Structure 1
């Protein structure tokens, strides 16, 4: 697996790069995980409702980008760890729901490293501490390959979350790791989360043999 540590990247170019990678990847393309931050931006999922951007958000200077992941509206900004998972699901014998569960577990395990007890919430993908959301998830799967991923609040400004209904839930509280005394920066937390993602992702299936090889002929 290839890991790319991209630093702070504008949202639109990162999204376009994910789409391009997924559209052009081949049968033997390596999976990738991208670790990054974004400048302030709201993103609205493909079935998202614009009314979840509240008047304060519309009056702010934060741009709104309508994108192709699932889910409603969320906020990205400096101090938030974003991990994009560009994964060939069939090669790792994963279903979409299993990948979502895996991502949540990696977040829960990462937060446990810092002494924080996080959990899932039925019917509301993401990770929560005492009912407040600390990490959001959103995926798109095309031809069996995923892109988009997760966002973990490390030391992000929480005010812009108050100008939306986060993930479509009115009044949903959001928190960050800094609120619980965590002083590690985004890059350090990213390495911890990466280790858990790599540990939990199933190994790749062996490459398929060419059609004219003895192995392929025997399998037929």
Structure 2
């Protein structure tokens, strides 16, 4: 890794419609394809209730008919199976140029897991990896999901950490296609936890793990 601390722009918002955030990501990635010297970005936000499917995801893990449902379902270019977003879940979208870190997708996934493990540790929770799977678990419950897209070594999509969401939305799917491992939230272990506090911890851990200097900005795309 480059020993010099890069500047990474931190953009924080509350609840943002998925389509808008997706458009932000696409614009930021396109700009960095044209000019690889642009600084990195970390977007932290929440989404209204929505189910997202990875590029190659199967509909078999939906427990409802996506064509005749009140629930919004969208297929996007990330990897992985179906997942659920809703308020109370902290979503992170790093737009990083991996040329300046490591051109290694497995390394990048492990780094994202490390960020989340450190966040959980700040609250006294022991986050764990599961061999062969991507994400972070606490006492057998999956608290964080990760799904990425990397194009010309520029990243988009990212991670989702269940802080204090309404967990009932997960009952309508097989989250990430994993049948035998339940999902969970930080709130189940720490009643009353506040998403705003966790968002701050995520920023701190991200800066440590990726060795960047976060500068809070207003995103203009």
Deviations 1:17-76 (CA, angstroms, capped at 9, x unpaired): 101210122121110000000000000000100111112877652200000000000000
- CA change 1:88–1:125 in 2 (3 A) is same
Partner Cα separation in structure 1 for residue 138 and residue 66 of structure 2: 25
Residue 140 of structure 1: aligned partner: 149
| Counterpart-to-counterpart distance in 2, 1:81 and 1:28 | 28
What is the distance in 2 between the residues matched to 1:89 and 1:65?
Answer: 27
Deviates more, 1:147-156 or 1:92-101: 92-101
**Counterpart residue number, 1:40:** 49
Q: Contact between 1:165 and 1:172, CA under 8 Å: does it hold in 2?
A: no
**Contact 1:154–1:185 (CA under 8 A) maintained in structure 2:** yes
Note the aligned Cα RMSD (angstroms).
1.7
Distance in 2, matches of 1:180 and 1:57, equals 32
The 8 Å contact of residues 33 and 86 in structure 1, kept in 2 or not, is answered as yes
Structural mapping, 1:157-168, within 5 Å: 157-168=166-177
Offset from partner CA, 1:143-194 (integer Å, 9 cap, x none): 1100111000000011111110100112531110110124232121011011
Partner of 1:126: 135
The correspondence of residues 23-38 of structure 1 with structure 2, limited to 5 A, is: 23-25=30-32, 26-38=35-47
Supply the distance in 2 between the matched residues of 1:129 and 1:176 (Cα, whole angstroms): 9
Aligned mates of 2:20, 2:182 — CA distance in 1: 30
Is 2:98 aligned against 1:51? Answer: no
- TM-score normalised by the chain length of structure 2: 0.87
Q: Does 1:96 align with 2:91?
A: no
Instruction: Name the counterpart of 1:108.
Output: 117
Is this contact kept in 1: 2:103–2:153, CA < 8 A? no
1:110 and 1:90 mapped to 2: Cα distance? Answer: 26
Partners of 1:75 and 1:81 in 2: CA distance: 12
Aligned with 1:193 (options 191, 202, 220): 202
Distance in 2 between residues matched to 1:202 and 1:113, nearest whole Å: 18
State which drifts further: 194-203 or 104-113.
Answer: 194-203
The 1:182/1:200 distance shift into structure 2, 3 A limit, reads: farther
The higher radius of gyration belongs to 1
Conservation of the 8 A alpha-carbon contact between 1:139 and 1:149 = yes
TM-score (structure 1 length as normaliser): 0.88
3-state SS of paired residue (1:173) = coil
Q: Which residue among 5, 12, 18 is the counterpart of 2:12?
A: 5
Deviations 1:98-146 (A, max 9, x none): 1110110111111011111110011110000122110000100011100
